[in-house]
Structure 1
């Protein structure tokens, strides 16, 4: 029953993970070795397989390592065990996502904290958009995740291939509500630029005004936006 629940959860996670692709139910059911152990959080099995020579960075058909699988499944102790076995926490899957971005998109602060504590980077360029975990989290209004990533040194003013920064995405892809406001505040408090504009030359202040996001407008003005 527990296995069935986990497989169903992973199938749903693929929907909730936006452009990310979590293991499908069929993939999860077919996993063996370290991928299966990571999926189920079987720390003892991870230790046994690693001791017997299993490669910690082996990939599935979508380029997911056991660390990616553990991140999708929120198996934090499995991530710790894999790191101890020498797994690279910063590898990208075929869709160019790393474990940090997977946790960030899922609003999974606990898994993100584990990854960062173990040395995973918050600075990688990820996804088909040449973005970062910070931009993805800002887009979704995951303010707690944003604060963690900022504290871990995520690049505040990275510009993705849509020509958007985290500040811009918190506005143009947000709903102007409390969590996106908190996200914008965290970025501004950390010193993110208010002047970097989108491809059409629209500044964050112009974009917030156009959407009627009055609270964001006031925050930007206080931060010196023009």
Structure 2
């Protein structure tokens, strides 16, 4: 009895040199436009994320200088040479630091980039963030990420012979100076993880950076299993959250109450925290202890701006929690019928909320609104 027929092995034909050059140029063009979809297609067709043009630009290096985080992640996932150099003999880290792209800086630190490389003009990433940066929040975030990531702090630049702290003082950048003073004058941290949690709870982003620099596990948690990022989200410590997210903290870490940093935003209604967490790609389907996703408590509590923003993330506006309620039902059943909840009902309906979904007792949002005397919400629901 004969065995199964052997299928001929398939071979993938490599593109010609001319076709490869075209693919690589098309990929760089897509990179400049931050067209991640096109870039992915071109990479699948064989385009090289490390291929450079005559100006020493590659898709990977473009992503670093322009701050294109999703594109950067795509190139890293497809073999980007993390320590590749540009025409200034600079790494992607130096390019990103110069532009104040703190999320890209953090992504590269996590990817193992050479944190202390010196470019052709004698600058490290920290020098460029200060000397060529600005006294703005973006550069404060960038400097904190570099500090937390463990870069050298006191090497003078080759030309000016200034340390980063001296550069900040020379420029009159008091915000950057304050971060660097704390970093350079810091003493040894006896218990980095305890310090990380205390600093996150207090909203002290500089101390958080120093705790991470001292070796704290970014996912360390307290007795209630709350991580630093969860503490930051709970107390709306947005600067702390931006730092932690940049260096890889999870937005999905569950505590003993089944809360995560992301889920907490639905309770606090903080749009700023929502925005700080989105680059970490939170799992929008994780459920809280009531079986709900973040849009449900936000709708109940009347967080209009949060609901308006979160429905644009692709979150399921028709998710039913363990009580049998959707966000729309909670906005009616647990709301006060006032202007905030009226606006939330409109937002949810515009986002695709189904007004026909009934609660466990078979009651619709419209019937609940009528029974509660919420005439304005009745009119909104009847109009759909």
Q: TM-score, normalised by structure 1?
A: 0.80
2:228 is equivalent to residue 66 of structure 1: yes
Residue matched to 1:115: 277
Correspondence 1:62-211 to 2 at 5 A: 62-116=224-278, 118-121=279-282, 123-211=284-372
Distance 1:85 1:121, change over 3 A: closer
Correspondence 1:2-21 to 2 at 5 A: none
Residue matched to 1:50: 212
User: What's the CA shift for 1:121?
Assistant: 2.5
186-195 vs 104-113, greater mean Cα deviation = 104-113
**Structure 2: how far apart are the matches of 1:107 and 1:167?**
16
Cα contact 1:139–1:166 (8 A) shared by 2: yes
**Structure 2: how far apart are the matches of 1:68 and 1:202?**
36
SS in 2 for 1:217: helix
**Structure 2: how far apart are the matches of 1:94 and 1:143?**
28
**Structure 1: how far apart are the matches of 2:364 and 2:201?**
43
Cα contact 1:47–1:85 (8 A) shared by 2: no
User: What's the CA shift for 1:101?
Assistant: 2.5
**Structure 1: how far apart are the matches of 2:303 and 2:231?**
21
**Structure 1: how far apart are the matches of 2:382 and 2:282?**
32
Residue matched to 2:200: 38
**Structure 2: how far apart are the matches of 1:38 and 1:193?**
39
Q: Which has the higher contact order (CA 8 A, sep 6+)?
A: 1
Cα contact 1:122–1:153 (8 A) shared by 2: no
User: What's the CA shift for 1:214?
Assistant: 1.0
**Structure 2: how far apart are the matches of 1:74 and 1:106?**
8
Give structure 1 stretches of 5+ with no counterpart.
Answer: 1-30
Which is higher, the Rg of structure 1 or of structure 2?
2
195-204 vs 85-94, greater mean Cα deviation = 85-94
Cα contact 2:332–2:365 (8 A) shared by 1: yes
Correspondence 1:21-32 to 2 at 5 A: 32=194
1:115-152 Cα distance to aligned partner (Å, 9 max, x none): 22x23436133322110110010111111111111011
1:85-133 Cα distance to aligned partner (Å, 9 max, x none): 22111212111111122222122222222222x2343613332211011
How big is the alpha-carbon RMSD for the aligned residues of Structure 1 and Structure 2? 1.6
Give structure 2 stretches of 5+ with no counterpart.
Answer: 1-192
SS in 2 for 1:145: helix
**Structure 2: how far apart are the matches of 1:210 and 1:98?**
35
User: What's the CA shift for 1:185?
Assistant: 0.6
User: What's the CA shift for 1:161?
Assistant: 0.6
Distance 1:87 1:119, change over 3 A: closer
**Structure 2: how far apart are the matches of 1:214 and 1:122?**
36
Q: TM-score, normalised by structure 2?
A: 0.48
